[in-house]
Amino acid sequence: MSNHAVSTTSTWAGGKSPFKVSYGKLMMWFFLLSDAFTFSSLLVGYATVRFSFPQADETQMEQLRTEMPFGTDVHEMFHANPDGFVGEMVDRGIFAETQWPAPELVFNHFPGHHLHWPLMFVSLMTFILIMSSVTMVLAVEAGQRMERKKVEIYMLLTIVGGLMFLGCQAWEWTMFIGEGAKLYSNPFGPVTFAALFFLVTGFHGFHVLSGVVINFIIYLNVLRGTYEERGHYEMVEKVGLYWHFVDLVWVFVFTFFYLI
Amino acid sequence: MSNHNTPVDIHDEVNYDPIVWVPKAHSHGTKGLWKTFWILLVLTIADVALYFTIDPGYFRNGIFIFLGIVKAAFIVYSFMHLTFEHKALKKSIVLPMLFVIYLIVLMLDEARYWLDLNW
């Protein structure tokens, strides 16, 4: 291994670290930059398709909002229609292939009841992911002070947060698929809406899943004392960078899919 | 890491081994991190509140995208510690992302053209 050691101190001979970070952390940053471009392309692609469709008529939407305010039991309200709430929206022309559906009418479910709670579940998911980002950064901070016990606790909390987020996403996908949204069909409007929803949230969810797996491996290493022995917890910091990036991407998934 | 008997100093800045070299870590405290958490929480609640108070349109969407970029900046600079990194690293990460802002502007203009074309 002695050939790795650089004896010269001249910058262009490789005798200095130009970014003043370790090799692994620099590569993590560059990987995240490339991943940011991938997600940017997906989300900007979604936004482009979304804006090339007209949205639902605003006076009709206003009327619907007064008709079914927050907390309305939509199953009870539209039980006369054989296809329920979605069928009623299709009959009224609010869900049509020629216009983009308003997110408040698509993402209005909450576990445990059938009440109209628009955007509340996704807000909860966002909160869970932000919280797990906080526990992750606290693990990194404890690692910088070499406090192994705290790193263990915060890493475990981060993993739990990630699993909770994945559970929420599984539930949301189940609801969405149950209502007839597939990669190739979509009762809420244009097919591209469902296709891009599954593609982008699926790609993000897969990042969360791999983040949980990597976090778990690092957590086991913390338990074994690998980093204590190594003299630094930079591995926790590197996996932390990845985890925060996943949170960062969710900020934009939330913005583009659920708000716009 | 010349051999197992004489381990190299992983923090040595002068005669450093690029494979194992790590700068000395030091904590910047948790106060700033909690501040970032509250900012993210408030901005997310503001997002949902604005969704129900402002009529849909370019103005509202512009606010959402702007708030998204603000939240992203807080995550990158505070949670990912970019503030404390060397300025060359900061520039290498942040400047390429400006292309994305250009891509957003470009593609939204394209989308408006498709909208006029189709409907």
Reported ipTM: the value is 0.89
The total number of residues shown for chain B amounts to: 119
- Report residue A135 as tokens: 């526990």
Quickly state the pLDDT bin for A11 (edges 50, 70, 90). low
* Mean pLDDT, rounded, for A171-190: 92
Is A38 within a domain?
yes
Cβ of A244 within 8 Å of Cβ of B93? The answer is no
Contact present, B74 and A137 (Cβ < 8 Å) = no
Long-range contacts made by residues B62-67, C-beta under 8 angstroms, separation at least 24? B64/A255, B64/A259, B64/A260, B65/A255, B65/A260, B65/B104, B67/A255, B67/B43
Owning domain of residue A55: 19-259
- Report residue A213 as tokens: 């797996």
Quickly state the pLDDT bin for B2 (edges 50, 70, 90). very low
pLDDT digit string (tens) for A152-165? 999 999 999 999 99
- Does residue B5 have a pLDDT over 60? no
Distance CA A155, CA A210 (A): 15
Nearest C-alpha neighbor of A122 from the set B78, B47, B34, B56: B47
Q: What is the mean pLDDT of chain B?
A: 88
* Overall domain count for chain A: 1
- Any chain B CB within 8 A of the CB of A147? no
Distance CA A72, CA A114 (A): 8
Neighbours of A184 (CB within 10 A): 7
Cβ of B86 within 8 Å of Cβ of A145? The answer is no
Q: What is the mean pLDDT of chain A?
A: 91
Contact present, A57 and A89 (Cβ < 8 Å) = no
Mean pLDDT is lowest, of A74-88, A125-139, A194-208, for: A74-88
Mean pLDDT is lowest, of A86-100, A130-144, A245-259, for: A86-100
Q: What is the pLDDT of residue A1?
A: 44
Quickly state the pLDDT bin for B3 (edges 50, 70, 90). very low
| DSSP at A16 | S
Nearest C-alpha neighbor of A50 from the set A202, A204, A196, A249: A196
Contact present, A116 and A74 (Cβ < 8 Å) = yes
- Does residue B71 have a pLDDT over 90? yes
CATH number at residue A70: 1.20.120.80
Distance CA A117, CA A130 (A): 21
Is A165 within a domain?
yes
Nearest C-alpha neighbor of A258 from the set A103, A154, A113: A103
Cβ of B88 within 8 Å of Cβ of A18? The answer is yes
Chain A residues whose beta carbon lies within 8 Å of the beta carbon of residue B79: 133, 136-137, 240, 244, 247
Cβ of A22 within 8 Å of Cβ of B21? The answer is yes
Quickly state the pLDDT bin for A9 (edges 50, 70, 90). low
Chain B interface mutation, best of A141, A146, A242, highest count of B Cβ atoms under 10 Å = A141
